[in-house]
Chains A and B, each alone.
Chain A
Amino acid sequence: MKRLAIVLALVAGCSAPAEPAFNAADVMFLQMMIPHHEQGIQMAKIAEERAARPEVKALASAIRATQSDEAKTMTTRLTRWEQPMEAPPGSHDAHGGLHETRPSDILSLEKAPAGQFDTNFLNLLTGHQHNAVDMARTEVKTGLDAATKDLAKRIEESRKAQIQEMLRLLAAPRR
């Protein structure tokens, strides 16, 4: 596949020298990551309003800001590649389904009792970011476009660090 994609890129190069070289894994990564980011942003926004601990609030704000930027980068890239924002229905079933954060999960976060909010948020977002790490690792292994693989590497690294921070917050006594 990789070789075919490179050949294609070379062929494309004849008519459009600046045509970027990318493959289906790059496209799928972006198509899956954009909605995944949007869900993360939704959760973070709720936490910015509702979190009790200031450090949880600060983490949520930073996650909202950085993921909004990344989502813009990814959307711009898919547009430049003239690829659809969404994959054909059903093509992600093997990834999605059980592994998705459901709309009902976000709704139940919104409705979580005040005393439970921070714990629920941290557990929900930790699970969500574990899934981001999995998708990013797949892209690093199977993607072609250098910029997208770099983004995936940074996503893998920053989500792992966020998971560590959230596990620390979950284990640490409340002040």
Chain B
Amino acid sequence: MRKTILSIVTALAAVASTLVVLTGPAQAHGYISSPPSRQANCAQGRVANCGPIIYEPQSVEGPKGQRNCHGGLSQFAQLSDESKPWPATSVGQNVTFNWVLTARHATSTWEYYIGNTRVAVFNDGGRQPGATVSHNVNLGGFSGRQRLLAIWNIADTPMAFYSCVDLQIGGGGGNPQPTPTPTVTPRPPSPTPTVTPPPAGGTWRTGTYYATGSTVTYGGATYRCLQAHTSLAGWEPPNVPALWARV
């Protein structure tokens, strides 16, 4: 009996796996993480009311040749909304742009635009990208607040991925700053994690640094921290026995 059921289960599994593939996650692929792109600022929660991009900052995929921040996708149109308070990162003339990739497509080029000027292009000649991708870009004398558009052109599809990065370019034209390290402009109040441990016996909350041995209450029970960490949603004490022991 059991064996029969198992073989039926196995047969159904084969059918269902096809269904799972068909209903699988949207194919999603990459964006600029630092200096933070608009979708990175949305996903991080630094810019509010961004719409569904917060769930998939890697999905701004549209036909090649566009010059907007949302890849022409109506559900992500907020990325091109210039009235939103996009924070600009202070940079010099040379900036290193770092990408997060969730799929490593064969790549034709990576392009960087300010306005209509292509300030940089990197030709990968159809190769798959490495583990991580970063490009050092000279901003070509642009200064002040600028919106940079980065485009990842895929080699074997007609599609590209779009990321806009808001920059406050200092240093003036032809006077590159020695350090390409971006610094961040002061930002509006946001859920910045505190680094001060709460008083022993406080209520557990997210974004808090807990030292090994500190105690919290959660859902009426007391827990002792087994390993120092900054708390986050999904790491509630009863859910992560690796981090918290009930006392």
Q: Which residues of A contact B (CB under 8 A)?
A: 1, 4-5, 8, 11-12, 14-16, 23-25, 27-28, 55, 58-59, 61-62, 65-66, 68-69, 82, 87, 91, 94-95, 98-99, 102, 104-106, 108-109, 119-120, 122-124, 126-127, 130-131, 133-135, 137-138, 141-142, 154-165, 167-168, 170-174
Q: Is the CB of A171 within 8 A of B40?
A: yes
A105 to B24, alpha carbons, bound, how many Å?
A: 24
Residues of A within 8 A of B20 (CB): 24-25, 28, 138, 142
Known A124-B131, A160-B233: A154·B99 in contact at CB below 8 Å: no
Q: Is B73 an interface residue (CB 8 A)?
A: no
Q: Is B208 an interface residue (CB 8 A)?
A: no
CB distance from B60 to the nearest CB of A (A): 13
Contact B35 A171 (CB under 8 A): yes
Is there a chain A Cβ closer than 8 Å to B36's Cβ? yes
Query: Can you list 27 contacts pairing A with B, beta carbon distance less than 8 Å?
Result: A1-B12, A1-B16, A1-B19, A8-B8, A15-B2, A24-B13, A28-B17, A58-B229, A62-B227, A62-B228, A62-B235, A66-B243, A91-B17, A94-B24, A108-B130, A119-B34, A119-B98, A123-B100, A127-B100, A130-B58, A131-B102, A135-B25, A142-B19, A158-B232, A160-B233, A164-B45, A167-B44
Q: Which residues 81-136 of B sit at the A interface, judged by CB distance below 8 A? A: 89, 98-105, 130-132, 134
Chain A's nearest CB lies how many Å from the CB of B22?
Answer: 9
C-alpha gap A155/B1 in the complex (Å) = 35
Tell me the minimal C-beta distance from A119 to chain B in angstroms. Answer: 6
Question: Given the known A-B contacts A105-B131, A172-B184, are A65 and B242 also in contact in the complex, defined by CB atoms under 8 Å?
Answer: yes
Q: Which residues of B contact A (CB under 8 A)?
A: 1-2, 5-6, 8-9, 12-17, 19-21, 23-26, 28, 30, 33-36, 40-41, 43-46, 55-56, 58, 89, 98-105, 130-132, 134, 181-184, 193, 206, 227-230, 232-235, 239-243
Contacts of B34 in A (CB 8 A): 119, 170-171
Taking a contact as CB atoms under 8 Å apart, the answer to whether B230 and A55 are in contact is yes
Main secondary structure of the interface of A (DSSP, over half): helix
The 3 closest A-B pairs by CB, nearest first: A158-B234, A24-B16, A134-B25
Do A8 and B99 have beta carbons less than 8 Å apart? Answer: no
Q: Are A161 and B234 in contact (CB under 8 A)?
A: yes
The CA of A164 and the CA of B40, in the complex, are separated in Å by 9
B43–A164 contact, CB under 8 A?
A: yes
Name the residue in A95, A105, A134, A165 with the highest tally of chain B Cβ atoms < 10 Å from its Cβ.
A134
